[in-house]
Amino acid sequence: MEQLLSEIVAYCDGRLNIHAIGDAEGAQNGLQFQNSGKISKIVAAVDGSLEIVEKAIAVGADLLIVHHGIFWEKTVPVRDNIYKKYKLLIDHDMALYSCHLPLDAHLEIGNNACIGKILGLKNIIQEFEYHATKIGIVGDKSIGRSPLKTLLESLFPRVIAMEFGSENIEKIGVASGGSGMIIAQAKALEIDTVIVGECQQFHYNIARENNVNVYICGHYATETFGVEALGKEVSQKFSLPFEFIPSNCPL
């Protein structure tokens, strides 16, 4: 069975509200690389890397949905690995759809919403503004620090804990990816515990000085949820086969 690429793109654009949500300059949310117009199999991955394109071809996909797309700068020379990636996409008639911050922020299939549901957060609201968009969530959960860390370690391959907040947690903030900036916002929002993808060294001092518990769970690992949820939803709506392609990225 085949479906029209244009119909899938229109559905994703509307579902993610990509035209109304701000993002980093050059993110280019939406269809980044078209094919001849028909889709028979969907795959999803965090990154639109050469490795992932090659793996998508190997499993017979003709639509790759990613969180980190192939365009970030205004112009780049098409040579070396960039040329190889583009040529593979064209030669194998593969389309590529990318969604960055709108997929972090989505309250149903977004990275942070999915993590919040798995953790059992209640009364979830959006917080943590970035590029004029509230990309993270805050929710209620009564849990001790040790049980929370154990729960996170069951969900993510690596968890780094900086525990400077309360031992008895009531409210948790979640922001996937390169989200260390939310630590500085936590105190004003009366949140003493945050879950992030990655931090920089100076965030240690911010966490310590503001008495915040911080659990760093990996940029890649925290951003697998949304794109897989989107891919599954699209595959079900359009009756197409789907699979998620993982990466061994440890960061």
Task: Give residue-wise pLDDT tens across range 148-204.
Answer: 999 999 999 999 999 999 999 999 999 999 999 999 999 889 999 999 999 999 999
DSSP alpha helix (H) spans, 134-224: 145-155, 182-186, 202-209
Q: Beta strand 193-196 with 168-175: parallel, antiparallel or unpaired?
A: parallel
Per-residue pLDDT, 114 = 98
pLDDT of residue 236: 97
Sequence-distant (≥ 6) Cβ neighbours of residue 24 within 8 angstroms: 72, 100, 101, 131
Q: pLDDT under 50 in the chain at which residues?
A: none
Q: pLDDT value at position 24?
A: 82
Looking at residue 70, what DSSP letter applies?
Answer: S
**DSSP-assigned beta bridge partners for residue 1:** none
Q: Residue 39: what pLDDT?
A: 98
Check residue 58 and give its pLDDT.
Answer: 98
All domains of the chain in start order, with CATH: 3-101+224-244 (3.40.1390.30), 104-222 (3.40.1390.30)
How far is Cα 170 from Cα 182, in angstroms, rounded to an integer? 17
DSSP H helices in the chain: 5-16, 50-58, 80-91, 101-105, 111-119, 145-155, 182-186, 202-209, 225-237
DSSP class of residue 10 equals H
